Structure 1
């Protein structure tokens, strides 16, 4: 199978491309200077006017990862231009070029930023996008599913939780850097439950979705399938870094008070709040079981984060 991977110069895209290259022919879309090989490189700016014709020659499937992240731009028009209009444009050109399958990497953020002690998120949960980025992902989802209804393009929507692994940006990078630099953390009393997904498990699930006939036009909420507290997560990161970590007991109300005083309640909630995902659909419909443990992925961490 010939597959176009957009955003392949990014954290997930690079690992996914390497994972898929063992079995498929990969066209990498990404930034110049990041991808070295010229024979499988696609350089196209993503917007409503992008011309993907050369990149889509004889392509069977697309994995669309490229997007403007919520921490990269505060301009809602720009986010919409890339994440929504750019995605629609790519899908429409994919239809014209005879591409069979379009795997879109969305975000669990379309459902909200915490589960508030309710039942875990799943594919039937009400949407509640909490940012311009999450809203753009939801808008793109809806547009793609409409295209799937009107054409022969098979669309698969994947909503991953926070993706971790060596080189992961954003919140995981900050957390791993903290563990690497500070030998004492205040999470001994934190017993929250959060779902995460390793980049290895996400790559494997995407690989399954590219070929499984029952994935056609389906939406999946995805995680490792094992929920952990922030205490357990940071302990596992420390093991991956081969460094010691002491957890001291600080009551949750202290964290909440700090969040109110510093106007950082959202960040505090991401640390000690709950966000759980039910992955039963992926397991039952696609017979998928995450092949990698958290320890497997975190074992590749180094002290040079």
Structure 2
């Protein structure tokens, strides 16, 4: 990658920081774009994602782009028209970046989409039909379709990656809440949950992105990516506990009872994420691009737990 100059959008984010670090270690010149200002070299501040975002300065001299920036899925979205807001940022914003990238002479663009394009639950492979349900998933699917078509017309080499939940140092939201509960030894009523869920460690996702940037066979393809190691929610809690060097505090309660209680409390969707199946097969990525996740779940979880402890969020006795 010594001759690569790569623009990373969302460079200061959880995934972006890992991607920047990996590509720099491989010899690429990394150009970082984010909403926050910085005086660091090769760092550019850009406005909100949309059809008028100006990427031209950041794109100067770049040979490739990794597009991570997005309006992300949020619970209890307060927007009057959430789909319109998601489309403006994730669909129109992506196409605006692609158009300006081609004008700047960029050859390849890796677009990090989401498994939500396939749906909220199920067992997904590269051949699974898209079935986005929420505004975020719909906007990402429309961005994929329009970006791939633009690539066919313009010659831009587009590669799409759909990850499931990403974990690792810097993780936020529900995964961080669960991690914190496990670290503190809080009893969790998930011992009887025997579902299957796919996740992807941030180091594995960054490595897959780097592979998609470099591999000639990736052009025009859509790949699913995961750790290739599915776990139940109960197993996930045990993996977290092991990473902290403690025993999981699991209580076995019927998943149906949990689901019923969650419905009463208006938390049906949250319960589904804990109790339902969502598996993501990276088989096509592995076979076509000779990719293999460099980290197993134990290594990824240990790095995540070590980060959590280092942040001083917990002092285990």
TM-score of the aligned structures, taking structure 1 as reference length? 0.94
Deviation, 1:205, is 0.4
Are 1:201 and 2:201 counterparts? no
Secondary structure at the counterpart of residue 276 of structure 1: strand
User: Which of 128, 133, 145 lines up with 2:131 in the alignment?
Assistant: 128
- Aligned mates of 1:163, 1:37 — CA distance in 2: 29
Kindly indicate whether residue 279 of structure 2 is the aligned counterpart of residue 276 of structure 1.
yes
Q: Deviations over 1:90-131 (max 9, x none)?
A: 00111111100000000000111111xxxx201221211121
Return 5+ residue gaps in structure 2 as ranges.
none
Work out whether 1:25 is the aligned partner of 2:29.
yes
1:6 corresponds to: 9
Size of the aligned set, in residue pairs, is 299
Instruction: Write out aligned runs for 1:112-151 (5 A).
Output: 112-115=119-122, 120-151=123-154
Query: Alignment partner of 2:141: what SS?
Result: helix
CA distance in 2: counterparts of 1:290 and 1:37, whole angstroms:
34
CA deviations over 1:238-266 (Å, ceiling 9, x no partner):
22233442212111111121122112111
SS in 1 for 2:53: coil
Q: What secondary structure, in the 3-state scheme, does the structure 1 residue paired with 2:220 have?
A: coil
Q: Match for residue 165 of structure 1?
A: 168
Q: Matched residue of 2:159: which SS?
A: strand
- 1:55 corresponds, among 52, 58, 83, to 58
Alignment correspondent of 2:40: 38
Q: Secondary structure at the match of 1:185?
A: coil
In the aligned structure 1, how far is the partner of 2:70 from the partner of 2:52? 16
Distance 1:245 1:183, change over 3 A: farther
Q: What is the deviation of 1:44?
A: 1.1
In 1, the alpha carbon distance for the partners of 2:280 and 2:257 equals: 27
CA distance in structure 2 between the partners assigned to 1:242 and 1:3 by the alignment: 39
Taking the aligned partners of 1:7 and 1:80, their CA distance within structure 2 comes to 17
Question: Contact 1:166–1:298 (CA<8 Å) still a contact in 2?
Answer: no
**Corresponding residue number in structure 2 for 1:69:** 72
What does 1:246-257 correspond to in 2, within 5 Å? 246-257=249-260
| One of 87, 96, 117 as aligned partner of 2:94 | 87
> In 2, Cα distance between the equivalents of 1:67 and 1:74?
17
> Is 1:217 aligned with 2:220?
yes
Indicate the RMSD between aligned Cα atoms, in angstroms. 1.5
Name 1:190's counterpart in structure 2: 193
Identify the range of structure 1 (240-249 vs 196-205) with the bigger mean alpha-carbon deviation. 240-249
Decide whether the 8 Å contact of 1:110 with 1:128 is kept in 2: yes
Spell out, residue by residue over 1:179-214, the C-alpha distance to the aligned partner (whole angstroms, 9 max, x if none).
223432222211111011000000000000000000
